[in-house]
A and B are shown apart, each in its own frame.
Chain A
Amino acid sequence: MSWETVVGLEIHVQLKTRTKMFCRCPAGFGAGENTQTCPVCLGFPGALPVMNRTAVEWTIKLGLALGCAIAPRAVFARKNYFYPDLPKGYQISQYDMPSCTDGRMLVPMPEGELAVGIVRAHLEEDAAKTVHVGGHSGRIGGADYSLVDYNRGGTPLVEIVTAPDIRSAEEAKRFLQLLRQTVVELGISDAEMEKGTLRVDANVSVRPRGSDEMRTRCEIKNLNSFSYIARGIEAEAARQIEVWESGGEVRQETFDFDAGSGRLTPRRAKEEADDYRYFPEPDLVPVEPPAEMIERLRAELPEPPAARIVRLARALELERAAVLVTGGLDRLWEATVAAGADRLAAANVIANNLVGAGVDPGAVDAAELAKLVAARDRIPRQAFDEAIARAGDAGFAAAPYLAREAVSDASELDPLIDAVLAANPGQVAAFRGGKEGLLGFFVGQVMKETGGSANPRVVSDLVRAKLLA
């Protein structure tokens, strides 16, 4: 039987507001433990929350970018449970009346555009960070003692919940890349998985292809890179298919994904069912955004990344377009092409060389970059690499690098080529036996001998001619 994977995602985005969600403590990272706290975020008796208006605006802005309906009245609720990272004994979160509902994000895929429904996006406060020392598995059960850092407690988070519209690990990854880029371009979060400012949980189920039933889903937590997300989803789907095919039944469970081993480990089952006893937070008034505010935020929205991928895909293949857009490179690419560069060459230089050199694409002068792209095969490799590395510097000019012409003179190159061929008789025989892929190896050896100053295209032509002679 052929199986189809069904994925829904829950994404937490940490907003980069200057202060926390309900108090004036700084919301940044890196300060000493428990130094960014106050009676409000520590839940001292009598402390009351006061809403961070910027966080509310940013949530609405994100909702608009995701095509959501913005609630004329959103209500914060208390989600009650006991845990040492939760100083008040409840988390303040939008519950049944969130700020944003019913959105949709279009994800360009090779097979066509995938529409991912956004069920909701709501604002909440983050919990503190706990470290459980001793015992096993780093969990609170069995730990010798636990330490709590309340600096993170109370920082603003937006939780985005998608419909189960995603059908593969690839789709999930592409959706998340687009979502991340949207958030970054809105300027509301750094959305970095390794820093935990973008956190993703995946709900995975499988079903026979063609069926529209919803089978039992399992949740995977702790997915902290795009490739782990894809691997985690694939591993879980494979596990479930095996369970169903061997006549078993998938039980609803939550797993942690261990990136090292690629294995899913079940979390200890909860002793009892959760009952969060939600009720409207009486210490806060509802959020009722004025229409002018929503219109102002809507006017501030940049062109959606998905739309830009579609536009770029008319000039480039989809994958390349997606890489440029999700890497935040497409505006530079467009400007470089507008300055006269070849589309494909510009895409390669930007996505590979520039990114590889760690250059900030926003700092690059497209006209100068266009000159470099055009001269790529003409100037020595070394000169090109040097130029790329400095392309983001203020006042960068391509001219001095372009002046360094590559060695294209056959009389200079011939002896070097002969020496390389003589030193590698085995590879020469193999090439002549049909392994044409070895051409690159010889070119590389010659380039190395010249210290990168030769014109690789000329070298390639000369080598080929000698081998086929």
Chain B
Amino acid sequence: MIDTLRLTAEQALGMLERREVSSAELHRAYLEAAAARDGEIHAYLRLVEDGEDGEGGGVPIALKDVISTKGVETTAGSRILAGYVPVFDATVAARCRAAGMPVIGKTNTDEFAMGSSTENSAYGPSHNPWDPARVPGGSGGGTAAAVSAGLAPWGLGSDTGGSIKQPSALCGNVGLRPTYGTVSRFGIVAFASSLDQIGPVAKTVRDVALLYSIIAGRDANDSTTVQLPEPVRLPEDERLDGLRIGIPKQVWELAGIEHGVRASFEAAVDLARGLGAEVGECDLPLSFAYGMACYYLIAPAEASSNLARYDGVRYGPRVEAATYREMVERTRDEGFGDEPKRRIMLGTYALSAGYYDAFYGQAQKVRTLLIREHRDALERFHVLATPTSPTVAFPLGDKASDPLAMYACDLLTIPSCLAGLPGLNVPSGLSQGLPVGLQLIGRQFGENTLFRTGHALERALGFDTVPARLRT
């Protein structure tokens, strides 16, 4: 019997290499786990029962439903793509398949990856395995919940403003948002092109590093990708001597950081000091003052353009009407949920003639300043550390009617996303019985340093990634 709740991808790989289990058997085990537990969690939008690459010899994987999979319906959590079956694989999906990894299923997401709780999915919310009355975070709540509930050893998410890091924090997983340009976006249903990144979610830092090594690297189909300057190194046990960690002093001035989150964070920082790291304070005044505003201009602006292709002409459901214009209007009205509509409207406004300079243009200038501010801080420090989410997982419905409260969930993850920098979530402990996440931000292409830091802390913290209520 395979204990999918505890099995890490690295362990699964060991079992495959020792021929104790086949890739197909592993795939079957996760499908059975999903049959048993996904009714409660709703991590998956659809399972891939007959994975054509089931014999591939690799560790099975869950893919967020914004990742195009050839022959498997891909909806991005939206009604407007219901029934859409891609004729091609996203580059990351192709790289997983090339590594022989069967796809377990497509995981739930906020519609077009817009949200922080996965309640915006047109196909119903996902639930947090630690407490099904609470959200798993978003927009990648499906992938995070699947890993946390043992329905997948690892998975891929997409992160625009925190959609890998934040749900990883809320579900007690390790999640990496890589440096912009290191992982191909080809085949990813676009939200905000200059911010979207694909990244791994797993139980351990080593698993995340391993999956990152499989998906990263230049892709001829995505001009914004680059070759990694150095190979991915799987972190070994070591101390953190010589490592300088910076903590932005603005973090504590932010409203809404829960006491338990702060306590967990401070304990983790003390632990890092004990491992030999040098901890200091850094200053990111603009990032925390203007990061959110900047993000909520740039992301919706790009989204308004990226979502224009869903017009009912070539694919997806079409609402018939008397004229072309009416057909497009009704198709989009019925196909998009409230959050995409809200962002399309915001973005259209921000880009419109007469407002461009005041909004989008200004936001791009602020973004340049944020990039500079982060670069300066990261000249003094190897990594920056903050809590990942100001709060632990909140009850379903708590913020559903208050968009601004929902947007505030990504307060801490957004600035480094705007700066294009890599970020890693590592579970730092529990508060109210729910996971708390530690965010480590690295230099551009500094993934190996993040892995080293995260791995050392993970070992020292000894966090049990299996939700308490599922432990037997």
Contact = CB atoms under 8 A, between A and B. Distances in A.
Interface of A: 39, 42-51, 78, 80, 82, 84, 87-90, 140-141, 146, 148, 275, 277-279, 282-285
B351 A284 contact: no
Contacts of B187: 46-47
B223 A285 contact: yes
B308 A279 contact: no
B189 A80 contact: no
A46 B188 contact: yes
Contacts of B325: 82
The majority secondary structure among interface residues of chain A is loop
B449 interface: no
Contact of A45 (B302, B308, B309): B309
Contacts of A141: 323
A44 B87 CA distance: 9
Nearest to B347: A277
Q: Interface size class for chain B?
A: 35 or more
B223 A89 contact: no
Interface of B: 68, 74, 76, 81, 84, 86-88, 90, 185-190, 192-194, 220-224, 301-302, 304-305, 307-309, 311, 313-315, 323-325, 328, 348, 351-353, 356, 360
Contacts of B190: 45-46
Classify the interface of chain B: helix, strand, loop or mixed: loop
Contacts, number: 101
18 contacts: A39-B88, A45-B86, A45-B189, A45-B190, A46-B185, A46-B186, A48-B222, A49-B223, A51-B223, A80-B304, A82-B325, A87-B309, A88-B308, A89-B307, A89-B308, A279-B360, A282-B193, A284-B224
A279 B355 CA distance: 12
A44 B189 CA distance: 9
Contact of A89 (B76, B193, B305, B360): B305
Contact of B314 (A42, A46, A51): A42
A90 B308 contact: yes
Contacts of A44: 86-88, 314-315
A46 to B, nearest CB: 4
Contacts of B304: 80, 277
Contact of B221 (A48, A82, A87, A282): A48
B66 to A, nearest CB: 8
B95 to A, nearest CB: 15
Nearest to B189: A45
A321 B258 CA distance: 84
B308 A80 contact: yes
Nearest to A88: B309
B185 A48 contact: yes
A279 B313 contact: no
Contacts of A46: 68, 86, 90, 185-190
Given A48-B223, A87-B314, A89-B305, A277 B324 contact: no
Given A45-B86, A84-B324, A277 B353 contact: yes
B314 A80 contact: no
Nearest to B353: A275
A140 B224 CA distance: 37
Given A141-B323, A277-B353, A285-B224, A43 B309 contact: yes
Contacts of A282: 192-194, 224, 302
Nearest to A148: B313
